[in-house]
Structure 1
Amino acid sequence: MDRRQFTGGLLAGAASLPLGAGRAGAQGRGGTLNVIIQPEPPILVTALNQQQPTLTLGGKIYESLLKYAPDLKPMPGMARSWEISPDGLTYTFRLFPGITFHDGTPMTAQDVVFSCMTLLMETHPRARNTFRRVARAEAPDPLTVIFTLKEPFAPFLGSFDCTTAPIVPKHVYEGTDFRKNPMNDKAIGSGPFKLKEWVRGSHVHLVRHEGYYRKDEPHLDEIIYRVIPDAASRTLALENGTVQLAQWSDVEFYDVARLKARPNLAVTNAGYEYFAPLQWLEMNNRVAPLNDRRFRQAVMHALDREALAKRVYFGQARVATGPVASKTKFYDPNVRKYEYSLDKAKALLDEMGLKPGANGKRVEIKFLVPPYGESYQRSAEFYRQSFARVGIDLVLEATDMAGWASRIGNWDYQMTTNLLYQLGDPALGVSRTYVTSNIVKGILFSNTQGYSNPEVDRLFDEAASALDEKKRQELYTRVQQILVEDVPVAWTLEIEYPIIYDRSLKDVVTTAIGSHETFGAVTKS
């Protein structure tokens, strides 16, 4: 069955699908879970790609040392215990015995050291910002990992979820070109599910990892991630039970209220505590006129963000005030506010010398539309109409997921929409976007806009090393004040994404990363 046939079957209300889609497992053990994945990820290896669909699906394949409760307190992942030295410099993790990769090779402390200190340092924007602080990583025995930091780093223990520090097999990657390794298509991890089949444009089929180290997990036999490009078909698939789970922007925001009314479905906004997703307009600070702070401030004034939250996100969002989300530690609401004012936007553009021509246009800006669903397309249209009122001609450019990632990562753009995770602490999820050291070409979700301010670098560094909470708040307040003046990106909204699931499922949301979690504990009745 190809993608076109599958979508057609959904629209016709067909219940007969391949790969055990209609099978119901016994309570507590067995069964097939069908999940929407939209858009289709370009790769499944989370160490090499951190776009949301990759992390959602890859979280079942790859695991890390810790998990995080909804209050963000650490819980055992692959590490059964951990210790911190009194000086806050040495972290010792004890691994569970019997962990194996999907190819049958034992997973040891050496794989952890290699993943964190070699591979992720090259490929993962937020991991490299954490592990560059490590002076030494050791594996004194197969079940012990010791990290010794150069200086105290307060949120270090919050850096080990399966999306931030996925552990990959050293024997597969050592000495290779990580991004071109032929085994990337096999996606060999140590999580509760392993890759059986990927039919591009149709589905990704995961099956139970029989060698999984947690007793009686995973409960499910298999998970099938369905690629369903059409928004109406995705909603219908949830309503009729063809699929049992959707997350993030899989369902368009205008359909959420309708799905909440369905008796077979549960809807929750839990499971995003670790991420606190923050959306912004990303502007390439290297390119005129976006390299002028006044232009970026004008953009903030030209946007009616309250209207954006209501019309495009149907109340599933709140207006952002700056670089730190309101649900994240050290948030300070007392920063400069950019009210919606076309007059102020025009005055700033006039001050720059960007006078309107006979046709009313001051400047043309190319906008790369992220291929993540209708809400991003609708947002782009909203921005285009908003900026036209002040003489900015926004030209929308379409691309696919891989193309968008490549162009943003390689700085080949003027403006786009981006959304990043906060990860519970500004040192983990915020600083990576603004510090000079994270301007690294080819790595998505780093400081791709090219903003650089030595004072911001200093404040982020001091705040990350300070152990006193009051001192950290003072430093983060100051850095928020500076960034809101400089506007390296135009913060728009804090998005309240839903997780929508069939009531036959249990333990879908068990941690602060929700649908990104391993799903080893999920059961289907």
Structure 2
Amino acid sequence: MQLIRHLGLALATTLAMAAAHVQAQTQAQVPKAGGTLNLIVQPEPPGINLGNAKLGPSSFVGSKIYEGLVSLSPKLEPIARLAESWSISPDGKTYTFKLRPHVKWHDGKPFTSADVVFSFTQYLPATFARTKLIMEQVEAVSAPDAGTVVFKLKQPYPAFMLIFEATGGTIMPKHLYEGVSDYRTTTVNNTIVGTGPFKLGEWRRGAFIRLVKNPDYWDKGKPYIDNLYFHIVPDAVGRSIAFESGKVDAIRAGDVENFEIARLAAAPGALLSKAGWEFLQPMAFLNMNLRKKPLDDKRFRQAIAHALDRQFIIKNIFSTFGEPVNGPFTNGYAFKDASVETRYAYDVAKAKALLDEMGLKPGPDGTRAELRLLPLPYGETWQRLAEYTRERLGAVGIKTTIVATDVPGWFSRLSAGDFDLAYNFVYLLGDPSIGINQTYLSTNQLNRGTAANVDGYVNPEIDALLVKADRELQRGERARLYAQVQRTLSADLPILWTHQMVMPTVYRSKVKNLITTGMGMNENFADVWVDK
């Protein structure tokens, strides 16, 4: 415990020093063009076409190739990208975007309003459940001319300006998909054409993905960097060595195990930042398949909550990179109200008493129930979490078998409901009407990816509250509605929220403007430069 406290103080000091250093350097220096930035992508993404590949590694690489209408500041204010301006009608139902002129796709074709209409009415709703869910709010999308797009909503939707990042920020090239009927499986998805500051140069499977500067990028003089390398290093030790040796210039949360962060951040010329997650707001949790007994009984879910020491998980498994939560909203998230949450303290005796109350008495070997646990295949930290869970559930008589799989297998099993327990984390995406709806609405069930209600939670009260809050323009009334959502969900416990994830980035001081927006490392990197 003493070591953990010292590490926390050291990290806080490092972060403060890093912020001051970055501010001073940014003020003193003019960006320099040229050079190469070396990064790690972990694990190797299944694809980088953001229209149909939405996992974290895909977004990290693809966000430099594809763009949306806007990006977001750390305060979640819109920043102009493919849209240079926009206006909102007084009734909150009509959004008009003026597009940048003279923008080109990477294949030289002009970007127009037709691409935006195609993306939001055809392609993205077919490939991404979250877009389909959000677009149910929209009555029509029209293009009065090549440089204007109008979204007409069915009713007010205060979170609407956030959807352009919530849907991956992806505008797709309509001209590539002429005649295509199945946007999910078409081989055209292998043709990587965006409007962003970087283009695909080479993808050497198992080794690296190289992006090259787009010389025709609409923001003249940018990007500054000539080449972006995303190195694929299969083991965590190798990724640590890659940073220590200078092979890579930055490591993101998940590239190395959390217990390595403090040591790597203490290296000469290294900086640490926890910024850049203001929009994504990652929440870690244990999915529980409510379609299966005895998980359909709230008492059983409560027993699991009491059996796990979530403070231990934060401090000892995630090496202090986390914050405790007792409900579906992260700390600092819009409309968070901790006062209404039900708290489940670590209490083994309480867990056993709840199982006894259900009639789940221990058998001759002490077993009361048997479950399968699907760990998140994102490295040793998550494996340790699965092993800890197996141990602690076993202590109260819940025999747990770990069913390991790779990333595609985990994704397939979770989205198909083929699990009992599964570790996962999701992005809450700036506003409850996006991030909370995706996980708890009864209409957003299986086969829509992992950003869905994979647990099978059905509660008409929650459905009604979420739909009403979506459309409410008065902030005070929205707060009241979301307080009731938090009260009900934390009592029902459809998911066990283990912690709010704190996602550090360690990088070399020669890398400038690395994290400047609410999108963090998922920004397009047009402003990033290397001090050679």
Report TM bin, short chain: over 0.9
Alignment partner of 1:494: what SS?
strand
Alignment partner of 2:499: what SS?
strand
1:354 maps to a residue whose letter is L
- Range with greater deviation from structure 2 (157-166 or 31-40): 157-166
Match of 2:9 in 1: none
- Range with greater deviation from structure 2 (454-463 or 185-194): 185-194
Match of 2:151 in 1: 147
Q: Is the 8 A contact 2:76 2:278 kept in 1?
A: yes
Distance, in Å, in 2 between the alignment partners of 1:172 and 1:320 is 45
Offset of 1:61 from its aligned partner?
A: 1.2
1:94 maps to a residue whose letter is K
- Range with greater deviation from structure 2 (439-448 or 478-487): 439-448
Structure 2 CA distance for partners of 1:301 and 1:519, relative to 1, 3 Å: same
Distance, in Å, in 2 between the alignment partners of 1:74 and 1:204 is 30
1:518 matched to 2:524: yes
The aligned runs of 1:54-453 (5 Å cut-off) are 54-161=58-165, 164-174=168-178, 175-334=180-339, 335-453=341-459
Offset of 1:27 from its aligned partner?
A: 5.7
CA root-mean-square deviation: 1.4
Offset of 1:444 from its aligned partner?
A: 2.6
Alignment partner of 2:443: what SS?
helix
1:508 matched to 2:514: yes
Distance, in Å, in 2 between the alignment partners of 1:445 and 1:471 is 27
Offset of 1:245 from its aligned partner?
A: 1.4
Match of 1:472 in 2: 478
Alignment partner of 1:232: what SS?
helix
Offset of 1:184 from its aligned partner?
A: 2.0
Q: What CA deviation, in whole Å up to 9, does each residue of 1:120-164 have, x standing for no partner?
A: 212223222222100000011111110000000011011112863
Q: TM-score, normalised by structure 1?
A: 0.93
Alignment partner of 2:449: what SS?
coil
Q: Is the 8 A contact 1:55 1:163 kept in 2?
A: no
2:437 maps to a residue whose letter is S
Distance, in Å, in 2 between the alignment partners of 1:223 and 1:327 is 33
Alignment partner of 1:281: what SS?
strand
- Range with greater deviation from structure 2 (455-464 or 42-51): 42-51
1:168 maps to a residue whose letter is M
Q: What CA deviation, in whole Å up to 9, does each residue of 1:36-70 have, x standing for no partner?
A: 11111111122213211111111111110111111
Alignment partner of 2:184: what SS?
helix
Structure 2 CA distance for partners of 1:58 and 1:101, relative to 1, 3 Å: same
1:483 matched to 2:489: yes
Q: Is the 8 A contact 1:64 1:162 kept in 2?
A: no
Match of 1:19 in 2: none
Q: What CA deviation, in whole Å up to 9, does each residue of 1:448-483 have, x standing for no partner?
A: 111111110000011111111110011000011111
Distance, in Å, in 2 between the alignment partners of 1:160 and 1:153 is 13
1:336 maps to a residue whose letter is T
Distance, in Å, in 2 between the alignment partners of 1:417 and 1:47 is 25
The aligned runs of 1:19-58 (5 Å cut-off) are 28-58=32-62
Q: What CA deviation, in whole Å up to 9, does each residue of 1:216-255 have, x standing for no partner?
A: 1111111110111111111121122110111121121101
Q: Is the 8 A contact 1:278 1:320 kept in 2?
A: no
Distance, in Å, in 1 between the alignment partners of 2:238 and 2:63 is 25
- Range with greater deviation from structure 2 (383-392 or 283-292): 283-292
2:250 maps to a residue whose letter is L
Distance, in Å, in 2 between the alignment partners of 1:446 and 1:47 is 17
Q: TM-score, normalised by structure 2?
A: 0.92
Q: What CA deviation, in whole Å up to 9, does each residue of 1:333-358 have, x standing for no partner?
A: 01111111111211222222222111
Q: What CA deviation, in whole Å up to 9, does each residue of 1:365-407 have, x standing for no partner?
A: 1111221111111111111111111111111111111111111
Distance, in Å, in 1 between the alignment partners of 2:326 and 2:304 is 14
2:363 maps to a residue whose letter is G
Alignment partner of 2:71: what SS?
strand
Give me the identity figure in percent: 41
Offset of 1:198 from its aligned partner?
A: 1.3
Alignment partner of 2:61: what SS?
helix
Distance, in Å, in 2 between the alignment partners of 1:38 and 1:321 is 29
Alignment partner of 1:99: what SS?
coil
Q: Is the 8 A contact 1:35 1:223 kept in 2?
A: yes
Q: Is the 8 A contact 1:290 1:296 kept in 2?
A: yes
Structure 2 CA distance for partners of 1:61 and 1:439, relative to 1, 3 Å: same
Offset of 1:208 from its aligned partner?
A: 1.3
Distance, in Å, in 2 between the alignment partners of 1:416 and 1:380 is 9
Distance, in Å, in 2 between the alignment partners of 1:214 and 1:427 is 32
Structure 2 CA distance for partners of 1:295 and 1:173, relative to 1, 3 Å: farther
Q: What CA deviation, in whole Å up to 9, does each residue of 1:466-525 have, x standing for no partner?
A: 111110011000011111111111110101111111111111001001000101111012
Alignment partner of 2:119: what SS?
helix
Alignment partner of 2:189: what SS?
helix
Alignment: residue pair count: 500
Q: What CA deviation, in whole Å up to 9, does each residue of 1:57-105 have, x standing for no partner?
A: 1111111011111111111011100000000000001111122222222
Distance, in Å, in 2 between the alignment partners of 1:190 and 1:389 is 54
Distance, in Å, in 1 between the alignment partners of 2:203 and 2:346 is 46
Which residues of structure 1 form unaligned runs of 5+? 1-25
Offset of 1:442 from its aligned partner?
A: 4.2
Q: Is the 8 A contact 2:31 2:224 kept in 1?
A: no
1:33 maps to a residue whose letter is L
Alignment partner of 2:481: what SS?
helix
Distance, in Å, in 1 between the alignment partners of 2:494 and 2:107 is 45
